[in-house]
Each structure stands twice: as structure tokens, then as C-alpha cells.
């Protein structure tokens, strides 16, 4: 219910929480969390060990936004520490992290599906305007996945359904709409 505010990571000076957040969709994306939670795949044994070590040591940092693929230059890497996107890595049969080693554990269908889901999500979000993105983000933060999905659906279908989007600046009084 309450959005996790304050505490860890809030000690940056000079950046108070105004309305100036950079929009980082994946940070709150349930799909991204799913990707992070699945086992390390699509990399060589050495890289797998390295990433697993990071996980064990609590140093593993999931991506907060898609990274650009070294090969195709598209922003569609969703797995932390990878430098090749899933399609490129599969095509070259090379480790997605060091892009040299042979892939030790191939990405299974399930994970591939999830990554694809995330790629589609990312694309849909890119269709939103700033206001819609804010609205989307707010819903994700509230855990209102349905509402968030509706915004995405709306963006591609009807672009200007204005009264669907709540546009007030951050009101915390959680009034339930619908
Ligand atoms: Zn690529
Ligand atoms: Zn590797």
C-alpha cells in the first residue's frame, strides 16, 4: 500500500524529491523483477560464476533500464551484466556477457518469453507521452498492475482518452478510482 519511501538510498545531497524524477519504468516493472529472479542463463561458465558470486555477495544489481546491445545497438538488454541482447547472443552462440565464451547454459524458453515480454512492455511504454508515463509509474508504484496495463493498452489503441489519466501532482491520499 504505502510506497517504500525514505530509508536506503535517500542520502543523496542536492536532490530532494521534487517532481523531477527521471522515468525509469523497469525499476518497478514486475516483469523486470521476474527476469532478475530467474537463474543466470545465456552466458559462459566463467561469467555465470561471476554473476552468481555477485548474487551471493549481495552485489548483484538488476538493470533499472534496458541497456544497448554491443552488436545490434538496440536498447534491448534486460539481463544485468549482459552486453549482447538475447537475439544476438543466440544468433552468435556467444556468451551474452563476455561475448567470447561459449554459452554454458542456454536461456530456456521460459526466460526467453519473459525477456520478450519485457521488450514488448518497453516498446509500449515508449509510445506513452510524459503525462501517461507519470500516470503509469504511479500505478506501478501503487501495485495497481491492472490500471498500469490499461494505460499501456490505451496508449496504443486510443491515444487521447484524457479523463482516464489522473494528472494531479503526486497526491498521496490514495483515492481509489474505478
Ligand atoms: Zn543485439
Ligand atoms: Zn562469458
Distances (CA, A) of 175 to 19, 59, 80, 170, 172: 20, 38, 36, 12, 8
State which residues have CB under 5 angstroms from ligand 1, the bound ion: 69, 71-72, 85, 88
Q: How far apart are the C-alpha atoms of 76 and 35, rounded to whole Å?
A: 13
Give the model's pLDDT for residue 51.
92
Give the model's pLDDT for residue 26.
52
Looking at the CA of 41, name the nearest ligand.
Answer: 2
Q: How far is ligand 1, taken at its centre, from the CA of residue 21, in Å?
A: 29
Q: How far is ligand 1, taken at its centre, from the CA of residue 118, in Å?
A: 15
Q: How far apart are the C-alpha atoms of 36 and 74, rounded to whole Å?
A: 20
> Pick from 172, 166, 169, 157: which is nearest to 132 by CA?
166
Q: Please give the chain's pLDDT, 178 residues, in tens.
A: 444 444 444 444 544 444 444 444 555 566 667 777 778 889 999 999 999 888 888 888 878 778 999 999 998 888 889 999 988 998 999 999 999 999 998 888 888 888 888 878 888 888 888 899 899 889 888 888 889 888 888 765 544 444 444 444 444 444 444 4
Give the model's pLDDT for residue 81.
93
Contact status, residue 97 vs residue 51, Cβ threshold 8 Å: yes
> Pick from 147, 127, 1: which is nearest to 137 by CA?
147
> Pick from 143, 141, 32, 161: which is nearest to 151 by CA?
161
Q: How far is ligand 1, taken at its centre, from the CA of residue 120, in Å?
A: 15
98 grid coordinates = 563476455
Give the model's pLDDT for residue 163.
41
Chain centroid, CA 150 distance in Å: 18
Amino acid at each position: 500500500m504505502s510506497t517504500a519511501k525514505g530509508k536506503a538510498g535517500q542520502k543523496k545531497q542536492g536532490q530532494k524529491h521534487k517532481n523531477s524524477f527521471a522515468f525509469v519504468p523497469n525499476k518497478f516493472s514486475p516483469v523486470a523483477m521476474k527476469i532478475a529472479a530467474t537463474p543466470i542463463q545465456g552466458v559462459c561458465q566463467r561469467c555465470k560464476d561471476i554473476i552468481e558470486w555477485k548474487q551471493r555477495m549481495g552485489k548483484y544489481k538488476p538493470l533499472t533500464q534496458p541497456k544497448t546491445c554491443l552488436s545490434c545497438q538496440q536498447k534491448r538488454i534486460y539481463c544485468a551484466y549482459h552486453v549482447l541482447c538475447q537475439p544476438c547472443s543466440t544468433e552468435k552462440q556467444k556468451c551474452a556477457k563476455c561475448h567470447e565464451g561459449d554459452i554454458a547454459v542456454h536461456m530456456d524458453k521460459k526466460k526467453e518469453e519473459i525477456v520478450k515480454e519485457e521488450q514488448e512492455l518497453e516498446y509500449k511504454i515508449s509510445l506513452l507521452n510524459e503525462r501517461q508515463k507519470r500516470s503509469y509509474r504511479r500505478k506501478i508504484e501503487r501495485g495497481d498492475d491492472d490500471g498500469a496495463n490499461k494505460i499501456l493498452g490505451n496508449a496504443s489503441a486510443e491515444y487521447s482518452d484524457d479523463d482516464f489519466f489522473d494528472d494531479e501532482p503526486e497526491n498521496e491520499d490514495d483515492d481509489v478510482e474505478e
